[in-house]
Structure 1
Amino acid sequence: MALLRLSARTQQRATRGMQVAIVGFLLVGVWTRNVAVVINAVLSLAVTFLPAVLERDWGLRLDTGLTLWLTTAVLLHTAGMLGLYGSIPWWDHLTHTLSATIVAGVGYATARAFDEHSDAVYFPPRFMFVYVLLFTLAFGVFWEVLEFGVHGLSDSLGVDAVLIQYSLEDTVVDLIFDTVGAVLVALFGTTTLRSAVETLTTRLAGQTSDEVR
């Protein structure tokens, strides 16, 4: 996938640069003793290595563009924990939209891989659109409930919240931008995710062959 028409080498370098930036955010969190920043930076850094783990342990190879896409999402979220969520009103909308495209992409690629792998499964285009939308919104609701629970637990313990939850109105707005991300993937992301679908389909075919043996 030529994300923004960048070469694979350039995308790899950009991904490495973003990983270094996340490490920098982690060090800032440690220096300022900001537990929320530290935890989010550690988790975000772990997510950036997920494609390599999937390739090593499961044989699922994601192209450099998808890895850069994922890394960009977690980088912007980690940067937001340093104060951008509070100082820039639209930062939360940006990160929710981008994160929603990741969730929608996972849902789409998985469903399409099963569709192409098995003759017993057929997902019409209209169904896929609704499925991607509902899959993303379901995860969005789960995330908002998680934010609410973590925020409440943090308040009861008297510690800084690891996840930020502002209000019910903010939750509704977050879900709206989750929907925007899902629609973007459903309408324009199918070509971009083609390599991921092919990789998953190949993996499913390999598992079926092993079971037959």
Structure 2
Amino acid sequence: MYPRGIEYRASQVMQGAICLVFLAGAYTRNLSVVVNSLLAIGVTFLPAILQRDWEIRLNPLLGLWLTAAVLLHAIGMLGPYNYINWWDHVTHTLSASVVAAVGYVSARVFDEYSDAVHFPPRFLFVFILLFTLAAGVFWEVLEFSARLAAEALGVEEVLVQYGLGDTIVDLVFDTVGAMLVALFGTPTLSETIESLTERLEQARP
């Protein structure tokens, strides 16, 4: 277990900021802000749950990384997505890097745990890109479906989709996030990979 340092405090501050976004959404009766901020604050507790209930060792930067991604998304629902051109690019890059980290850790743990498979570095690089793009496509489909459902029901959209051009740009920045993890994510994720592998070994029949 890592000691609680500045990363933990920074994550707490960002959790407070997400709560303020929720209150702003509730005050203005903005359903999309309320729903997205509630989901965001829930996601920020995942690292603590993994460490407490599953005894998984996580680098403190991972919690900060995840919280920053969902905070920027929650703030974006207040208006920056509509008025700041680059806001969507930053949030997609950060969110995609989180997804890429999940894919990378999963593949590496499976590689370490099983003697039947071996993933060379080049395969892992391609896998991370494809895994992240697949998740990105799923998200875009989800946004499109949410828009159609909102229009059919005559309610406010919870997720906003701006068309095919925006989708292509989003996937480009998803790729950027994946490449950052593939190139530089190993040191931050190595402790988590080792910890998860140990847990699987303990559970091996």
Of 112, 126, 129, which aligns to 1:130? 126
* 1:1-213 mapped onto 2 (5 Å cutoff): 8-208=4-204, 211=205
Gaps of 5+ in 1: none
Gaps of 5+ in 2: none
* Secondary structure, counterpart of 1:193 in structure 2: helix
TM-score (norm 1): 0.92
Q: Structure 1, residues 45-95: CA drift from partner, whole Å, max 9, x if none?
A: 000001122223323232211011000000000000000000100100000
The alpha carbon displacement at 1:185 in A equals 0.7
Name whichever of 88-97 and 155-164 sits farther off. Answer: 155-164
Name whichever of 115-124 and 23-32 sits farther off. Answer: 115-124
The alpha carbon displacement at 1:8 in A equals 4.9
Identity of aligned residues (%): 60
Q: Distance in 1 between matches of 2:72 and 2:90?
A: 8
Q: Number of residue pairs matched?
A: 204
TM-score (norm 2): 0.96
The runs of at least 4 aligned residues of structure 1 exceeding 6 Å deviation read none
Does the 8 Å CA contact 2:93/2:173 hold for their aligned counterparts? Answer: yes
The alpha carbon displacement at 1:117 in A equals 1.8
Provide the aligned C-alpha RMSD in A: 1.4
Residue type of the partner of 1:110? S
Residue type of the partner of 2:31? V
Does the 8 Å CA contact 2:59/2:188 hold for their aligned counterparts? Answer: no
